Amino acid sequence: MSILLENINKSFNGFKALNNINLTFEDGKLTALLGPSGSGKTTLLRVIAGLELPDDNVNSKILFNDINVANNPVGKRQVGFVFQHYALFRHLSVFENVAFGLKVKDRKIRPTKQEINDRVYKLLSMVQLDTMANRLPSQLSGGQRQRVALARALAIEPKVLLLDEPFGALDAKVRAELRRWLRKLHNDLHITTIFVTHDQEEALEVSDCIVVMNQGSIEQLGSPDEVFHKPATEFVMQFLGDVNVFHARVDKDQALLPANFDYIKDTTEDANATLLVRPHDFDVLVKNDNQPGTFSVKVHRILTAGPFVKIEFINKFNCLVIVHLSHDSYKNILLNPGDKVYLRPRHHKFYVNNKESQSKTEKKVVPHSNQDISIKKILKYLNKARRLRYFKRARSIQLYRKRKNLS
């Protein structure tokens, strides 16, 4: 079943949780709502389920297969909802939990006892819990509770399956396992499924389609590939994966950058700009070949444990630049802390006022040394703020470790 949302607004005590959302979920697809906490993704999920009502009931529309369900109460929408903390009925056994949706049906359409029994055991064997039917929820592990919640939601044969942070409260190993299992389940059942997550890795791995949300609005909608490789906004780029941020300034007719990139702004106003580079998109050069985009850095720290080598560099503004290299390419250069080398991004994104600036012309290249004083001051200020943030974080990590050692 396809779902179409139109003009959905929702505010809580003046706080705008959803800001004019227009969205279509395709039939049979597994969609992830991805965003930081407070971005409105759970609210959107609850609006679809009918657990929250949109603010303006007249202009907003929620269509399930072209039928407006905005005025249908929760129970009439036939959605399977899996809560973040599962919300299992604590006084009922696993069997009774799964059977609940069938047992509360009106007498006329309620299946017989035998039918309910068969259906519940079929669902329980599907989630591999048929041996636990008589246990109480408190006697199950987190992953098992999650699967009971899923079986309970599927018992009413929902047209849409909605999952709120389905793997949030589980440990890393169980999470990875359940992720794969959910994908397989979706391939078997083909129910339109929407799940909420703040974990970009989870969204990229499981879903057919990702909706990236921020502050109640949709930042981008697309396949995992599109969202990762062609981020529409700076926010999406920063949220999906690690990224190095370089602050810059667009001033009158020239773009001023922390290194001599040949970028020309396409706005006529002054604006703050950012240049984003993923850690694996850097070339490390031992010698400066004076190509555009090259800048000098000092090696700060090298971490060789792990699937790739993580190197922390410090640039001349005292900012941290993180670079990921494969072990093979690291073997060719072998750095030591304190070494002076050069970095050049292979790919980068340039955003002015949070919008990507695509225009690349050759005419106005502004070398770094040509910055006037005011621009230098701005850059200095921006970098100081970053540095402060970095030290604050380092300090809090230090404090945390201290506390941990003590206890």
Partner 1 sequence: MYSVTLKKGLQPPLIINALISIIAIAFLVFFLVLPLVIIFGEAFSQGISMWWASIAEKEALSALRLTLLVAAIAVPLNLFFGVVASWALAKFDFWGRSFIITLIDLPFAVSPVISGLIYVLLFGINGWLGPWLIKYNIQIIFAVPGIVLATLFVTFPFVARELIPLMTEQGSEEEQAALTLGSNGLKTFWKITLPNIKWGLLYGVILCNARAMGEFGAVSVVSGHIRGETNTLPLQAEILYNEYNFMAAFAVASLLAFLALITLVLKLIVEWKSSNNQERA
Interacting residues toward partner 1 by CB under 8 A: 49-51, 73-76, 78-81, 83, 85, 87-91, 100-101, 104-105, 136, 138-139, 152-153, 155-156
Compare residues 153 and 206 and give the one whose CB is closer to partner 1. Answer: 153
Q: Quote the least distance from Cβ 121 to partner 1, whole Å.
A: 18
Q: Quote the least distance from Cβ 72 to partner 1, whole Å.
A: 12
Q: Quote the least distance from Cβ 210 to partner 1, whole Å.
A: 24
The encoded tokens of residue 255 equal 């773009």
Q: What per-residue string of b and e applies to 280-309 under the rule 16 or more CB within 10 Å gives b?
A: ebbebeeeeeeeebbbebebeebeeeeebb
Q: Quote the least distance from Cβ 165 to partner 1, whole Å.
A: 13
Compare residues 88 and 206 and give the one whose CB is closer to partner 1. Answer: 88
Contact of 130 with 124, CB cutoff 8 Å: yes
Compare residues 76 and 364 and give the one whose CB is closer to partner 1. Answer: 76
Compare residues 48 and 250 and give the one whose CB is closer to partner 1. Answer: 48
The encoded tokens of residue 66 equal 């072209």
The encoded tokens of residue 388 equal 């402060």
Compare residues 153 and 284 and give the one whose CB is closer to partner 1. Answer: 153
Q: Quote the least distance from Cβ 149 to partner 1, whole Å.
A: 8
Q: Quote the least distance from Cβ 9 to partner 1, whole Å.
A: 20
Q: Quote the least distance from Cβ 100 to partner 1, whole Å.
A: 6
Instruction: Give Cα 232 distance to the centre of its chain.
Output: 14
3 state SS for the chain = CCEEEEEEEEEECCEEEEEEEEEEECCCCEEEEECCCCCCHHHHHHHHHCCCCCCCCCCCEEEECCEECCCCCHHHCCEEEECCCCCCCCCCCHHHHHHHHHHCCCCCCCCCHHHHHHHHHHHHHHCCCHHHCCCCHHHCCHHHHHHHHHHHHHHCCCCEEEEECCCCCCCHHHHHHHHHHHHHHHHHHCCEEEEEECCHHHHHHHCCEEEEEECCEEEEEECHHHHHHCCCEHHHHHHCCCCEEEEEEEECCEEECCCCCCCCCCCCCCEEEEEEECHHHEEEECCCCCCCCCEEEEEEEEECCCCCEEEEEEECCCCEEEEEECHHHHHHHCCCCCCEEEEEECCCEEEECCEECCCCCCCCCCCHHHCCHHHHHHHHHHHHHHHHHHHHHHHHHHHHHHHHHHC
Compare residues 76 and 384 and give the one whose CB is closer to partner 1. Answer: 76
Burial of 83 (0-12, 13-18, 19+ CB in 10 A): middle
Compare residues 83 and 121 and give the one whose CB is closer to partner 1. Answer: 83
Compare residues 147 and 247 and give the one whose CB is closer to partner 1. Answer: 147
Q: Quote the least distance from Cβ 318 to partner 1, whole Å.
A: 44
Compare residues 97 and 200 and give the one whose CB is closer to partner 1. Answer: 97
Q: Quote the least distance from Cβ 206 to partner 1, whole Å.
A: 22
Compare residues 73 and 292 and give the one whose CB is closer to partner 1. Answer: 73
Q: What are phi and psi of 360, to 5 degrees?
A: -120, 105
Q: Quote the least distance from Cβ 406 to partner 1, whole Å.
A: 13
Residues across the chain? 407
Compare residues 8 and 153 and give the one whose CB is closer to partner 1. Answer: 153
Q: Quote the least distance from Cβ 89 to partner 1, whole Å.
A: 6
